[in-house]
Structure 1
């Protein structure tokens, strides 16, 4: 997902501001990836799924980065890949019917 330079600068300032407020040191955010995940969730489910999905990606990535030796960037990428795969599956295909081997769980 692309956006203009002004939006990019606003996002960078917002991320810096939030990082400081939340006391998160050296946070690198892949804006395009997060926006892609939000867009996939909004399209696959509903617009309200986007913020919840991005929160869950961050939470899963935080757990993965804390419990293993992967970087936060890698953990976010892995969680995002799972979300995008789930969003692209047919609605009637879910863990109860097929099991999701090799996902974040």
Structure 2
């Protein structure tokens, strides 16, 4: 997915403001990936699944990176890919379904 130039610029500016305000200065944000996750979540589940999915991807990535298991970028992509996989099934399927054991971050 490629974001329009104006939107990409606005998201980069907003991200820079948030990163500075929250003092997480070494964070790099893959805007296109997060927007893709949000859009697919909204389509698969409903209008507020986008925000919840983006938050959970960030939380999962932060946890994985903090524990030294993955770099931040690797953790974001792994969590995002997992969300995209879940979006393929909408509200059905998930960690409690057969075949999901031991697939967490």
Q: What TM-score, normalized to structure 1?
A: 0.89
The separation in 2 between residues aligned to 1:104 and 1:97, in whole angstroms, is: 13
- Root-mean-square deviation (CA), in Å? 1.6
The separation in 2 between residues aligned to 1:31 and 1:45, in whole angstroms, is: 21
Shift of 1:103: 2.5
Please state if 1:21 is matched with 2:17: no
The separation in 1 between residues aligned to 2:6 and 2:91, in whole angstroms, is: 37
Shift of 1:44: 0.7
The separation in 2 between residues aligned to 1:13 and 1:97, in whole angstroms, is: 40
1:27-85 CA-partner distances (Å, limit 9, x unpaired): 11001100110011001100210001100000000000011242100000000011111
The separation in 2 between residues aligned to 1:76 and 1:11, in whole angstroms, is: 17
Q: Which has the higher helix share?
A: 1
Q: 1:101 to 1:6 in 2, by over 3 A?
A: same
Gaps of 5+ in 1: none
The separation in 1 between residues aligned to 2:24 and 2:74, in whole angstroms, is: 17
- Check conservation: 2:95, 2:101, Cα contact below 8 A: no
Q: Which runs of at least 4 in structure 1 moved beyond 3 Å after TM superposition?
A: none
- Count matched residues: 105
Shift of 1:95: 2.9
Please state if 1:47 is matched with 2:35: no
